[in-house]
Structure 1
Amino acid sequence: MNQVMENILTRRSIRAFNEKSIKKEELEQILQAAIYAPSGMNKQTWQFTAIVNRDKIQYLAKIVERVLGRVGYDFYQPAVLVLASNERESRWAKEDNACALENMFLAAHSFGIGSVWINQLQDIGDHPEMRAYLREIGIPDEHLVYGVAALGYAQREAGEVSKKGIIKIVE
């Protein structure tokens, strides 16, 4: 099996991270992978905002906790949280960001870094407290956060999982 296929087939969502930090060079490459994802009509209307300060990540988690009423919410305490935002008016914003997030997850896995997709911000991005924080970290008001990548080193080895789905080849 080639390296790309092995990387795809062995990537798992990680929901328990250890304290180890991610090297800046590796984070930069993970973010670079995001902007190399396909986008509708190659518009590339996205923005990727990486929060590397754990206190700021937990401050954001506390906003989610208050707005959604999710006691103890913590984004799984990652080393890095990447907010994938896109223009509200972009026709393919959600799809473009999905492709970019998958590129990030695969790039992270290639460095031995775990990841998990988080959706909580998508529906609460315009809550006044959330919007104020998004503005503070540089996400424009005309952007919505369509997904979040929590990145870090896994506390434990990810186990095997069975995958389901229907595959048909029509000849």
Structure 2
Amino acid sequence: MTPIELLLDRASCKTYTTQPLLEDEVRLILQAGQAAPSGRNRQPTAFLAVTDPEIRRTLSRLNAEVLHTDADPFYQAPAVFAVLADPAVSTYLYDGSLAAGQMLLAASALGLGSCWIHRAKEVFATDQGKAILEKAGLPLDYEGIGFVIAGHPAQQPAVKAKTSRVGYLK
């Protein structure tokens, strides 16, 4: 698959096998996030990779509580990545979003399924969320930008037609 095909064909995956990610896959997804552009190259982002089933379940439960549901908002994906950023940096939300986008593309390039999941801000504002960040050695004052879930797809996600508005001035 060419880089352009990768960009155009990436789709959100919501069904995963139980097969865990390899350490190299986790590392490459994290590196893709770290390599993302940021305003004035300040790199205000931090990343949390979770493959530990107990911590993954805790993050899922905290995320589900924000939604007022019992369903797993991570769709049983075996790996959860959290993207956080320093809110003292004016471009933190954009920088974190770019990093998450690159992580989604990296997962696709590795043949994995992935999906952006919201509510990281709310999850890491809780005491339990902060305890997870502290255990991982990450800054407690960084704001959650989003979650990237990844795993081996149980079925290939269908690529849907893109319907964004486009203007083109010549």
Which residue is equivalent to 2:16?
17
Change (3 A) 1:41 1:165: same
Gaps of 5+ in 2: none
Aligned to 2:45: 46
| Residue 128 of structure 1, CA deviation | 2.6
Give the CA deviation at 1:34.
Answer: 1.0
How much identity, in percent, do the aligned residues show?
A: 24
Aligned counterpart, 1:96:
95
Q: 3-state DSSP class of the match of 1:122?
A: helix
Alpha-carbon distance in structure 1 between the residues aligned to 2:150 and 2:58: 17
Q: Conserved in 2, the CA contact under 8 Å of 1:35 and 1:100?
A: yes
Q: CA-atom RMSD, angstroms?
A: 1.7
Q: Which residue of 2 aligns with 1:29?
A: 28
SS at match of 1:22: coil
Residue 10 of structure 2 contacts residue 159 of structure 2 at CA under 8 Å; is this kept in 1?
Answer: no
1:110-129 map, 5 Å: 110-129=109-128
> C-alpha displacement at 1:13, in angstroms?
0.4
User: Following TM superposition, by how much is the alpha carbon of 1:113 offset from its aligned partner in structure 2, in angstroms?
Assistant: 0.5
TM value normalised by structure 2: 0.91
**Alignment gaps of 5+ in structure 1:** none
2:133 corresponds in structure 1 to 134
1:78 to 1:29, Cα distance in 2 relative to 1, 3 A: same
Kept in 1: contact 2:59–2:123 (CA 8 A): no
The list of structure 1 runs, each at least 4 consecutive aligned residues, that deviate by more than 6 angstroms after superposition, is: none
